[in-house]
Structures are given as C-alpha cells and as structure tokens.
Chain A
Amino acid sequence: MIYKLEVPELAEDVQEVRVLEWHGNVGTMFEVGDMIVELETHKAIVEIRAGQPGFFRKIEVPAGEWCKTGVPLGLCSDAADEALPAEAGGAVNMLVRFEIA
C-alpha cells in the first residue's frame, strides 16, 4: 500500500512548515522510530519519526522548501517496488510520531 506523509497536526495554529532535512533517500527502508524528516514550525524544530515500517519512495517537498499543513510531503510504501500513483491525494496517511527537538 502507498502512504502519504503529511505534516501532522502539530499544533492548532501551525499553518505551514519549512522542510529542514530529509533523513534517508528514496528507496531507503525505515523501521518504527526512525527519523524521516525534520520540519521547522514558527515555534520549534520537529522530528517526524516513522510510526510504521516501510520504504521511502518519493519526496514531494525538498529540503528548504515550504509546505502547508494537509499537503503531502512525501510518499512511502509497504513494499519497495509498489507502483506509485499519479497523484498522492488518494493515499492513506502514514502513521508518524513527532517530537519537538
């Protein structure tokens, strides 16, 4: 299954975030608890960690760019070779945990 990585509901007033750094490349496998990406909100730096195992498949928003809440940051999948959809919109949300750095 394909999952979309969205900016989680970090705080009620977070409107958009800056993507600071992606951890791992396209094709990398991650376990639960692995850091996937660091984001910067207006208040803090947030570490997004995997809440499920899988493969990292696509970066929608590169480091240094901005992303509004509710917009996909990237795509992941259970298996390394699943075909990616044309549009990320329909995909299910990936489970993540986040930590204020």
Chain B
Amino acid sequence: MSFERSATQRLFYREAIARALREKMAADPSVFVMGQDVGAFGGAYLEFDGLFAAFGPARVRDTPVAEAAMIGIALGAGAAGLRPVVSITYMDFIMLGLDPLVNYGAKLRYKTAGRLTAPLLLKTTAGAKGQGVAHSQCIEAWLMGVPGLKLVAPATPDDAYGLMIAALEEPGPVVFIDHKKLFPGAGEVAVAPHRTPLGKARIIRPGTDVTITTHSYMTRVALDAAALLQIQGLSCEVIDLRTLLPLDLDLIAASVARTGALVTLEEGQLTCGVGAEVAAQVQRVLGPLKVHRIGALAAPVSSNPVLERACIPDAARVAAEVEFATRRSGR
C-alpha cells in the first residue's frame, strides 16, 4: 500500500481566512466583504489582506461604525441573491445587530416558507486579550439557542480556511467566530482547495479517561492541560467542537461512552453556556453522567492583566479541575 502525502503550506491563521475569501471571491462574483477597516487596511488582524487590491472597493466595502445597519444590509443583499461576508470586528458588538441577525436573518427562510433565505457569513472575533470589559467577550452561547442560525468556531488555520469555504456555500446565516489569541498562531493547510464540513467535531487528542470538549482558543489550553495531566497518568481525549450549532452529538457521545466522564471547557460564561448545552445533549443520549464544566469567572473581564488572568481558564486551572473532577468521580 502506498500513501500520497498531499502538499500543505504553513499559514498564519489570518492567511487561511484571506486565502479562503480570495478563492471564493475569484470563483463567485456574488461574494463580497463589508465591515469596518476591511478595505485598504486589510482588517484588524490583516485577515482581509490583499482582497481590496485584488477585487476593489465595490467588493470589499468599508462601512462606518453601524453594526445594526451593517448586518441588516448584508442580510438584505444576501436575500436578494448575493453572498455577503460582514465583519464585526469585536464579537461584543454583535449585540448591536442581534435584531436583524435573529429576527430577520435566522427567521427569514421559515417565515417566508422558503421563498427567501439569507446566506450571510457574519465573521467576528471573540476573546479576552487585554482590551477591557466591553471588548473581551465570548458570547457564542447566546446564539446557540437561535433556530435558523449556524455557528462555527475554527481553532486552527486549516479549519479557519475549511469552515470559511463551507460556510460560504450555506443557504442561510452562519456566524464564524474566531479569537484574538488565535491570530498569532500558524498551522498547516492543504494546498488543494478543500472544505471542513459544518456540524462535524474532531478528536484532536485521543485519550481514555475523560473527554474534554472545547472550541476556539480554549483548544490550545485544553491540549496544554492534557499534557500536564498525562504526566500524572490521566489520559484526556480532547474534542474540538468546530461547529457549535449544530453540535456533532454523535462524535461527542461516542467519546463519552468510551471514557465515561465529560468535562466541558469554554472561555465564555458557564451559565447557559456551550458546556451546559453539550452536557445536557450528551446526557439525553447516554443517561446521567459525571460532568464538570469549566469556564470564565462570572464577572466582566477587565483589561487589568491580573484580573483578566484570574477570569480566564488557563492550562494549570484546567488541569487541576479535570484532575479533581475525575478523582471525585472515582477514577
């Protein structure tokens, strides 16, 4: 048997996003980008670098600060046949556009009985990185309960590329959530065009003693914690959720059925959080379980480095909590 090694390139996270958009915009004239600082500036993280030069101001449109109108306009353009990508620089400010996103975008296909759909890719950056209480939030859990939306959160450059490609083929609105702390990282991305299917999680570290489900930047923290725990003889299986809505319940439940214990990890709030939903859905399938959820402290996240560090889970805290949770459960 021979195996072909497909060619990959190492890309910064932002380059993977830009590559996906460039490929899609070259292939499909209906794809366009709008948002603050997306044009010549290339995006806050250079994630749109090169697009303005390649496609011009008609297809890469700078907007004023007006999130509600930005999202409404993008939805209307999508419903009218285009494929808009709207950039909301900070996830915190999705709040300003929740009415059009939730009340129009998510409900359009249903309320018109399929006469209209709104293919919108809403790309936004979450996470705490020294920017203060109103520029640090991870509120993806707020959107998980909105029927009609899909949510993806790529943790690697390859998934940032692959999920962007797949999301731009969806008939309805997709919220694409990246994270401030993912942009400094790099990773291998296959050179050939490809896509990461929506609704599919991935086991990024196989293990036997406990399943840790997580997403976005916390996947890095989970892997670091798993490495610490391995030294103590605890084998963690880490699952990168990749799509938050719809969750890949089959993969998660199969893992938990093997390990017998579930720990959920997120940077967002625990109350009604991603982990609460994962735990409830898994227990509906497998019955009562040993579940422990790890998340941010129930407090605003200050830009103060001491306070921010206290709020956000790090590898040491995660390892300690996983160890305590599995010990308590009699492993």
Contact = CB atoms under 8 A, between A and B. Distances in A.
Indicate if A touches B (C-beta under 8 A).
yes
A8 to B, nearest CB: 15
Nearest to B185: A15
Interface stretch (B10-18, B55-63, B134-142, B282-290): B10-18
Contact of B184 (A15, A18, A40): A15
B45 interface: yes
B186 A13 contact: no
Interface string A40-80: 11110000000000000000000000100000000000000
A42 B13 contact: yes
Interface in B116-167: 129
Given A18-B10, A42-B12, A42-B13, A66 B186 contact: yes
Interface residues of B, number: 12
Nearest to B46: A43
Interface centre among B10, B12, B13 (most CB of A within 10 A): B12
A13 B184 contact: yes
Nearest to B15: A42
B181 A13 contact: yes
Contacts of B52: none
Interface string A10-51: 000111101000000000000000000000111100000000
B10 A66 contact: yes
Contacts of B46: 42-43
Contacts of A15: 184-186
Given A42-B12, A42-B14, A14 B186 contact: no
B10 A42 contact: no
Interface string B178-222: 000101111000000000000000000000000000000000000
Contacts of B12: 18, 40, 42
Nearest to B130: A12
A67 B12 CA distance: 12
Nearest to B14: A42
Contacts of A42: 12-14, 45-46, 183-186
Nearest to B13: A42
Nearest to B182: A42
28 contacts: A13-B129, A13-B181, A13-B184, A14-B184, A15-B184, A15-B185, A15-B186, A16-B185, A16-B186, A18-B10, A18-B12, A18-B186, A40-B12, A41-B184, A42-B12, A42-B13, A42-B14, A42-B45, A42-B46, A42-B183, A42-B184, A42-B185, A42-B186, A43-B45, A43-B46, A43-B183, A66-B10, A66-B186
Interface of B: 10, 12-14, 45-46, 129, 181, 183-186
Given A43-B46, A66-B10, 19 more contacts: A13-B129, A13-B181, A13-B184, A14-B184, A15-B184, A15-B185, A15-B186, A16-B185, A16-B186, A40-B12, A42-B12, A42-B13, A42-B45, A42-B183, A42-B184, A42-B185, A43-B45, A43-B183, A66-B186
Interface of A: 13-16, 18, 40-43, 66
Lowest 5 CB-CB distances: which A-B pairs, in order? A13-B184, A42-B12, A42-B184, A15-B184, A42-B183
